[in-house]
């Protein structure tokens, strides 16, 4: 099983693969819009999240998110999943 949704052009996808990509894009859009503007994100991360949100909105999920972008998205989401107290402990260490 693939870790990421298919990255082929949308017109080459099967109906099932396209549905998976569109569902993933919709879920990701909701998640990233929720975390947009979080003060725990640095300027680069804020810009990256905003750009991914714009791409999803503009292309409605038809433009694939690359594996490198997925890695960064997961890193950002892992960072945001931590409680603020945990973030302070890591910063102090």
Report the run of H or E that residue 85 belongs to, with start and end. helix 84-92
pLDDT digits (tens, 9 = 90+) for 36-62: 889 999 999 999 999 999 999 998 888
pTM over 0.95: no
Q: What is the mean pLDDT of the chain?
A: 85
Contact 7, 67 (CB under 8 A): yes
- Domain span at residue 87? 10-92
Choice between 61 and 77, residue whose per-residue pLDDT is larger: 77
Let me know if residue 39 belongs to a domain: yes
Let me know if residue 1 belongs to a domain: no
Six-digit token string for 42 = 């640095």
Six-digit token string for 61 = 């999920």
- If one counts the domains in the chain, the total is 1
Q: What is the pLDDT of residue 31?
A: 92
Let me know if residue 19 belongs to a domain: yes
Six-digit token string for 33 = 């819009």
Give the span between the Cα atoms of 81 and 10, in whole angstroms.
31
Let me know if residue 2 belongs to a domain: no
């Amino acid at each position: 099983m693939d870790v990421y949704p298919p990255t082929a052009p949308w017109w080459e996808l099967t109906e099932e693969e396209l549905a998976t990509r569109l569902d993933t894009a919709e879920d990701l859009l909701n998640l990233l819009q929720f975390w947009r503007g979080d003060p725990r994100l640095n300027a680069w991360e804020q810009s990256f999240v905003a750009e991914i949100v714009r791409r999803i909105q503009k292309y409605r999920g038809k433009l694939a998110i690359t594996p490198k972008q997925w890695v960064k998205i997961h890193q950002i989401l892992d960072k945001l999943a931590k409680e603020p107290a945990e973030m302070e402990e890591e910063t102090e260490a």
